[in-house]
Structure 1
């Protein structure tokens, strides 16, 4: 026992114990009251105060639950002494402390495993439309993860024979945590895997049997880390739909067969394998085909595409029909879409159509595992006449006429309008209100101003000649264009607005301002949201003007309005034309070439002939490609022109305006943890690096970062690119001049950035020059190889993730030092989440080569600078960084935060260089170890 607290240092969980403070030494003055506090030791070694309300008195009781089993606690007692004289304040002094580790007299085990059909009259009977419940009743295993497996029992009599049933385990596993009652529980929906389970059950029979009989018998096993095991002893009998011997033993009647196309309706096309189309016996419906918005017949589409139906008929004008789209199966067909009543207006009638959403596609999947239709499906059309007394008919072409639908796994698809827990709606298939557009503009621009023109040098501004500068008209035009050009989902609107706001300065201008660019001096200069621009009068001569209409003519033909060619300024002066032209470029004009082509070879076959609007459905995946298609690639940076602004707009809109992850947090995930090296960052301060057996193509040089909040919910924060570099360190003393013999020299003329010149030498050393951090003049820094390699990642800028339980926000200002060690970045994410600030501004970490001018202690991305917050929040941020392993801090001494109001956990700077920013890092190593887990 340490200190002077009397009580059990190893209390049994679930038992109440008394603890008493025994004051030591002579008492002088007035005796005070005692307050008891309890601290819990975190995995990173830091003690956390978990006292909700201090207990008071010389003697108190504590009872530890099973959640505290094996955890180290510290008990502290403080004496609150009143002042000796009236008016003197009370004092608080530590009176005693001790360390506790709760234990258990129970042996951890799975005591009982059960499987049952909850709510059924007989809990041991079920059919394949039911959801079974599996439970593991455990002892001394609170919060441990239990894994369940479902088995079909072929052993005779009671009990289970592992040898007989060795091939009868379902491939899917189910996991759950043991709750405070000692029970881990999972639902097992039989319907989702019916095909697989029935096949498994009927494949292996009990010896001597010819079939499985009226029931399939199922049981479950439960394990913890493959060590502690248990199995349910009572089977659940699931009615065997394949049993032909009678129904007297089946617990429930089998469900009715799913609907199928009517036998006498026309269908277009019919099934595969040479089946012929089924024509209309009355000859009224001649043909039906799938088309797109341009009228082109479709043979192959992807989830997220819009399709329409073209119906060829005779003697049907003013009559009504209904069409049904079916997914073709060799055995039975699945209905995926049914229209309302449609009035035929002409012998060739095009319907308004529908979007093949993820939900529609999933109607054609019988089982998510093992179903051949889970990735590709074939659709045909049934036409049902509503006005004729003759029977409805089906039309089919043949197997070649089936439309193939692909589920592109990385595409978000088109979602239904989503709501969060507070009832807020996303912007899928929903109009903007005027207040929404104002909020969007203010978020990107800082002010609620539009069509103010482009700012020029000298404080002048090029005017914007748009006719109506109201938010109301802009809002109406945007909503109209979204509907007309099928820019329907949050992710499509995010992409579209990110690009258009870069092109227009967030609705500041509607046409190209006259400049040295030849396009700006042309009759058909850039106009509208996405800069509709003509083509050169001589395409081979790059010095000629863009005075041929080109896309202007294409747009005029599309709208059947040749005034656009005669009076091109209408695209810049009229709000409707300005917005509509941008949406036309987005959804109709700009497309990827058709495969085979070098561009498709580079980006993937799924991009072939896709419009920008269709590429947007893939989420983050094709942001760079969309930007290149719109405005080309910069020869110097090798990235899209205006890339940083386009990317910033996209990230801000996605996280700050559309709140994408709040409504669509399960969609648009280009790679899961099985495909990519993934960091898992936990709210308790632990970090793990998970390495899959195989990394998905395209993700070999990327890391995924996932944060787990205190409620154990996962948040996929970002995917970052990484590079391997030579480790560097600062060489002392600083050079007084640039050594000769350098092999390369680069200059940086970026406003606000300290580093201006960098010189590289054949031995790998680097000399950088520029302004000091917060001073005047010019300084030099030399960095040399320190031996070995290291990996650094490029930090997304801005890094914004905001949900109910996780706020992770970081933006760089006046810096190009945007690289950090891969482990350090993971820990920084944890610290940002722990602090939970809505804005953190950084002055930078390290350069791409691992150097860090003008700093000397950021090498290899081990540290980062952030702007100060309030004193309280700065201390909170320091504490957050300490929790996640950062152990070296510098704060300025010539600032208002200097001693005696300094920060705990910092080394004072000693000079003015840190008066404007806090330095936090772990230059030698992080104080927490990152566990690497290989699959």
Structure 2
């Protein structure tokens, strides 16, 4: 008996894989499986007027195939049939039906409540409040603009019939946020009030705020500390020298219920958990040295981006326009990026789209074609980079009479934009800086930042300056801002900027979690750039004023244990190469798209041959999982830094298993060493990437952005190592999908591709504190 494994309710526009499997084999019976000379044929049918109609041009072959359903067919049933073609007893071909599956696509634009928070916006510390103060509840939503969200504030222990009383409602604004205010004292139970008035020191209560839309509910997680001001004052008067701390937690747990969707277990990162209490005097926490909280709390739209993003924006503005004006100009830049990306702040946001919910890794050069065809190109990124902008930055060559308007030129342009889309926000901010560098002396105000993106001719002009006259293309593209029907003036084009900046005041960050708190401020980097790795998870990169001759291309790695003893792990080489793009596609003949400058047979694990092209691309050939193929890794203009993982190191233990992929990112290596140091485990690794950033047979190990390790096949050790990689800032951890891996926590299902190794990637670079002497 065979079955089709796959999502029977796939989301529109998302690629889903479907696999034919023996039902018994699926339960790990080795006697069953694919026979020799069997051919699997997949056919798709659409339900039309109660009949199944075959979808033409959609025949697929193999044990595992992808399907992507469009938004237009949401709610329409489809039937997937798999036939097996094989030789019968008479050595003749026969075709038999093996399995069927009915799938019904669902919309990609599902209405969801993503997160609920409770804050005291009247205080610098938003997580504290007096019992009689007002608290703001916010629900962050998707596809619910204009809808009404109902909020409930309730105390643990309240009877079920009392739990959801006194609801408040709010309409979701254009940014997907609904907010209401609560006076906490209106929602405490009589027993809680009595505890405060009687001076009970052992009060421990939990409060929850829930946001609801139809059957969708989300309860918040981030806590607020609440105190009784009157009782606190009485305590201070009666016991000025022996003030006793009394506390009890208000914890807010997260629970999500979606129609037809399983409960999400790891929606929020552990960093949102903070100590909480409700009592007469809140317990004091140790002070935090988080840079975001000290310096970047007033950045508009800061709540929409990461800690690393905020720091990078302010750093760029300080370098371009000076330390004294960095926040003023950073606010201007944030307002511009909000307008250009419709508030997504995504590197892969494309012109013509109001959201960037797709996965950048799934984009191709055709993703940048406009409706007019392949000889077109959509702008992309945080400030919507256009061809003109890229030419002005010397990122793309200007056209010649021979190349202007040709298909190869458009393909090259869209390939460059694809690299921009896939480089991520932090790296793309360097490109944003490059765009402004040539004009930084002309840009005097935050308004000029906006104009340099939208209308460079308006930079430095007065507000009445006429930018676009009627009858021009630029006027027609912006005529909605012409209120007087007399052409578009500078002040009119700036209205969008002011609207964005003013709205952004409501979205400053209230969560500070960069983790940059040094354990030892006295450490000095001498002679060599050194990574100091602490048992607490902190990683510091110390850069000395002067690097000793011979050490310019080397890094040192040191681990600090619980007793603050230093353990030198290694000194290793680093080098610069060009960043490569990940490539999902296998090809079965050697790529010949560019002039070949090197073609060599190699013996490097599964890699047998490597071809290097004049344009920097690399093609590699070899075998994996019974298939032999080529994979092309396209080169970009962006640089990438790699370190060589030494064959042997001190204090920690690892070894290579059948691989020459012995290069990785410097930060990835630091996190990997930290995980080994705190666990004491000795592990085998299949490495990261090759010297130039390629990584056959893998798609996503390019640029050393992930590290694979062999399982211990011991639940205790495997879980310990997974937890330590998470602790040292690897945000992506993929394991296999057989029953053993279902017992592991803090991993995602990486499919049977990861049945023999753990994949850890997406290292959080914001956790590296750079210290320059």
* TM-score between both structures, scaled by the size of structure 1: 0.29
* TM-score between both structures, scaled by the size of structure 2: 0.34
